[in-house]
């Protein structure tokens, strides 16, 4: 089955939007479970695409990570999920600020990752 490129490239973001849409109406366990499944599907799709499209293959440089690669790949998505969920369930300003900081950190990590993986190797 082949999808048009516009649909294929935007499908993970549609999963994220659907997950957020589900969480805005009710906070019941079945809806939260469905939202987490859509969010997980979007994360898995983006991480697997990123691994297949990398220009800077990490293994050829012999770089060793301090944390497992699987955890490293999903960490920004975990940060953003915890941040959004914390903003939704708490009214405390300090917790909401910490959650917003987690979301900003996740976006920063994803943008830096995208830039490093899609550009050619640096000589310096």
**pLDDT at res. 87:** 92
Tell me, yes or no, whether 75 and 43 share the same domain: no
Tell me, yes or no, whether 122 and 74 share the same domain: yes
Q: Considering the domain boundaries, does residue 100 fall inside one? A: yes
Tell me, yes or no, whether 49 and 1 share the same domain: yes
Tell me, yes or no, whether 103 and 124 share the same domain: yes
Tell me, yes or no, whether 41 and 6 share the same domain: yes
End-to-end C-alpha distance for the chain, whole angstroms: 43
Of 33, 53, 73, which closes a domain? 53
**Long-range own/partner contacts, residues 37-43 (CB < 8 A, 24 or more apart):** 39/15, 39/77, 39/81, 41/12, 41/15, 42/12, 42/13, 42/14, 42/15, 42/16, 43/12, 43/74, 43/77
Tell me, yes or no, whether 47 and 86 share the same domain: no
Q: Considering the domain boundaries, does residue 81 fall inside one? A: yes
**pLDDT at res. 2:** 81
Q: What is the domain range of residue 99? A: 65-124
Per the structure block, which two tokens stand in for 8? 């294929």
CA distance 48 to 108: 19
Write out the chain's pLDDT in tens, 124 residues: 688 889 989 999 999 999 999 988 888 999 999 999 999 999 999 999 888 877 666 555 555 667 788 888 899 999 999 999 999 899 999 999 999 999 999 999 999 888 877 776 665 4
């Amino acid at each position: 089955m082949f999808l048009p490129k516009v649909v294929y490239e935007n499908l993970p973001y549609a999963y994220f939007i659907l997950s957020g849409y589900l969480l805005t109406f009710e906070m019941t366990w079945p809806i939260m479970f469905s939202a987490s499944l859509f969010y997980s599907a979007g994360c898995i799709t983006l991480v697997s695409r990123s691994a297949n499209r990398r220009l800077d293959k990490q293994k050829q440089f012999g770089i060793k990570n301090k944390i497992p690669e699987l955890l490293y790949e999903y960490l920004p998505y975990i940060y953003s999920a915890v941040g959004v969920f914390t903003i939704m369930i708490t009214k405390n300003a300090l917790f909401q600020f910490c959650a917003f900081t987690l979301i900003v950190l996740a976006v920063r990590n994803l943008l830096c990752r995208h830039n490093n993986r899609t550009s050619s190797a640096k000589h310096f």
